[in-house]
Structure 1
Amino acid sequence: MRRAVLRVLILGGTGEARELARAASEERGLDIVSSLAGRVANPRLPVGAVRVGGFGGVEGLRTWLRENAIDAVVDATHPFAAQVSAHAATAAAELDLPVLHLRRPEWVRRGGDLWTRVPDLAAAAAALSPRDHNVLLTIGRQGVGAFVGRTGHRFVIRSIDAPTVPLPPRSTLLLARGPFTFDEELVLMSRHRIDVLVTKNSGGEQTEAKIFAARTAGLPVIMIDRPPLPAGAVTVAEVAAAIDWLRAAAGHRVR
C-alpha cells in the first residue's frame, strides 16, 4: 500500500530551495528534509528539518536515501553545483526514485551588454586581456585558484567566506553577502576602478544588479556558462512548478 506521506529530500543552499521548503511545509502529505553542503560558515537555514554536510559520493547518497525512506528528490542546488546534480540523478535512478532539478533562468545578454561567454573558470582566466588591469571576481571562493597565474592583473575578490585556496598575488578580498543594490555595485566598480567583471551565469534577481551596473558603466563581462544538467533531467524554473511536481508525485490534485 502506498504511504500517505511523500518523503522528499531537497538538495538546497539556494534561495529557491528555501522558498520550496517553506511552500512544501504548508502542503499536506509532504515530509521534507533539506540538505546543505556546509560550504558556507553561517548559511541561511530553510524551514523544517535540515541536514548539513556531504553524503560521500553517489554510494553515500544512495545509502542515505534508502535508510531514510526517501520517495522523491528535488535538486535545488546552485546552477554550478554540477557534481551534486550528477550524483543526485545517478543515485535516484539506481533506486528508481523520481528526481526534479529546480533551476532559476539564466541571465540573457541585452542591448549594451559587452559579454564574452566562456565554458569554465580556466577559459575565463585565459580570456583576460593585458588591458584588464583591475578585475572584479564574483565567482565564489572555490574558483579563485584558477586566476593565481594571472600576475599582471589586480583582483578584487568578493565572496561570502574567505577562499581556502591561494589567492592571486595582487588581490583585495571583500567578504560580503548579497543581495547588493544597483547603486552599491556601481560604487564598488568605480571605487576600485574595475576594468572587467568575471562572473558565473547563476541567474536570478538576487545578484543581477552587478550585470545592470556593468552595462551602465560600459564594462566588459566575462560570463561563465553553466555546466550541463545530467542527460534526460526533468527541470523546472519556478518554485510553483516544483510544488506542482511534488503534488503529482504525492498523488495530490491542485487545490
Structure 2
Amino acid sequence: MRVLLLGGTGEARALAAALHPDVEVISSLAGRVPDPALPVGQVRIGGFGGVAGLTGWLREHGITAVVDATHPFAAIITAHAAAACAETGLPHLVLARPAWPAGRAVVVRSDTEAAKIVAAQGFSRIFLTTGRSGTAAFRDVDAWFLIRAVTAPDPGTLPVNHQLLLSRGPYEYEAELALLREFKIDALVTKNSGGAMTEAKIKAAETADVPIVMVDRPALPPGVRTVSTVASAVAWLSGLSPK
C-alpha cells in the first residue's frame, strides 16, 4: 500500500505518525506556509497542476489510496482529489475534523457576506481570524481590525486601519479572553475551521459577550467518504490492506 496523504493539518501529521512505518505514506503540503510543521515520513511540497496533473502523479507514483486531511476550507485541492480518484478508481477518504457548533454566531457563506454584516452592524473593533487569504473582503470596511494569521497577508488586501498579529496556535482560553479585552474587541469574524487548536477564541468571545460572525465550510464534493477522527482513517486504510 502506498498512500498519498494531502496534509498541512494537525490531523494529517497525527495520521502520518499513526501509520509510520507500517504503511508507506507520502504527505503532500501546499507550500504556502513558511517553515511548516512537517510530518514523519516522506514529504512533497507544492501543487500538482490541477486534476490532470494530480491524476498523472497518482499513476506515475503507484499510489493505491488517497486520504485528504487538508484544512476544511481547502476546497480546490479537495475537489481535485475527488475528481482524480474518480478518474483513476483509487480509494479516497476525506478526514474532516468536526465543525464547531454555531451557537449564537451569525453563520454566513463567504468572507464577502461576513464583511457586509460587519459593516451593516457598525462594529468598530474587529478580531479577524479568517486567514491571510480572507482579508481582501474587509479592505473597504470602515472599522479597525486586529488581524491574526500565520503569515502576513498581501499588503494590498489589508484594511486601512489594522494591526497584524502573526502567530500559530494552539491558543489558550484565558489568553484569548485577555486579548479580546485588551483590544476592546466588539466582534469576532472567523471561519468554522473546527478543532481544538483555535476553538478557545470562540469560547472566549461567548464569555465576553462578543458577537461572532462565522463563515461556514464549503460543501464537500458529492459522494465522498468522510471520517472525523484519525483512528477512523487508520481503520479505513486497514480495511484496504490485503488480508
Report deviation, 1:143. Answer: 1.1
For 2:126, the equivalent position in structure 1 comes to 135
What is the CA deviation profile of residues 216-242 of structure 1, one whole-angstrom value per residue up to 9, with x for unaligned ones?
000100011000000001000000000
Q: Which runs of 4+ in 1 moved over 6 A?
A: none
- Are 2:229 and 1:235 equivalent residues in the alignment? no
- Are 2:147 and 1:157 equivalent residues in the alignment? yes
- Are 2:78 and 1:85 equivalent residues in the alignment? yes
**What number of residue pairs does the alignment pair up?**
241
- Are 2:26 and 1:36 equivalent residues in the alignment? no
- Are 2:111 and 1:118 equivalent residues in the alignment? no
Report deviation, 1:109. Answer: 3.2
Query: Aligned letter for 2:113?
Result: A
What is the CA deviation profile of residues 179-235 of structure 1, one whole-angstrom value per residue up to 9, with x for unaligned ones?
111111011111111010000001011110000100100010001100000000100
Q: Which runs of 5+ in 1 are unaligned?
A: 1-5
Report deviation, 1:149. Answer: 1.6
Partner residue of 2:211 out of 193, 209, 220: 220
For 2:223 and 2:109, locate their aligned partners in 1 and report how far apart those are by CA, in whole Å.
Answer: 21
Query: Aligned letter for 1:236?
Result: V
For 2:234 and 2:193, locate their aligned partners in 1 and report how far apart those are by CA, in whole Å.
Answer: 22
The CA RMSD measured in Å over matched residues stands at 1.0
For 1:145 and 1:78, locate their aligned partners in 2 and report how far apart those are by CA, in whole Å.
Answer: 20
Q: How does 1:39-188 map to 2 (within 5 A)?
A: 39-110=32-103, 114-128=104-118, 129-150=120-141, 152-164=142-154, 165-188=156-179
For 1:37 and 1:140, locate their aligned partners in 2 and report how far apart those are by CA, in whole Å.
Answer: 15
Report deviation, 1:250. Answer: 1.3
Partner SS state of residue 137, structure 2: helix
Report deviation, 1:70. Answer: 0.4
For 2:189 and 2:51, locate their aligned partners in 1 and report how far apart those are by CA, in whole Å.
Answer: 32
For 1:220 and 1:18, locate their aligned partners in 2 and report how far apart those are by CA, in whole Å.
Answer: 33
Partner SS state of residue 33, structure 1: strand
- Are 2:195 and 1:200 equivalent residues in the alignment? no
For 1:193 and 1:226, locate their aligned partners in 2 and report how far apart those are by CA, in whole Å.
Answer: 28
For 1:56 and 1:109, locate their aligned partners in 2 and report how far apart those are by CA, in whole Å.
Answer: 35
Report deviation, 1:130. Answer: 4.5
Using structure 1 for the length normalisation, give the TM-score.
0.92
Question: Which stretch of structure 1 is more off in the superposition, 124-133 or 6-15?
Answer: 124-133
For 1:211, the equivalent position in structure 2 comes to 202
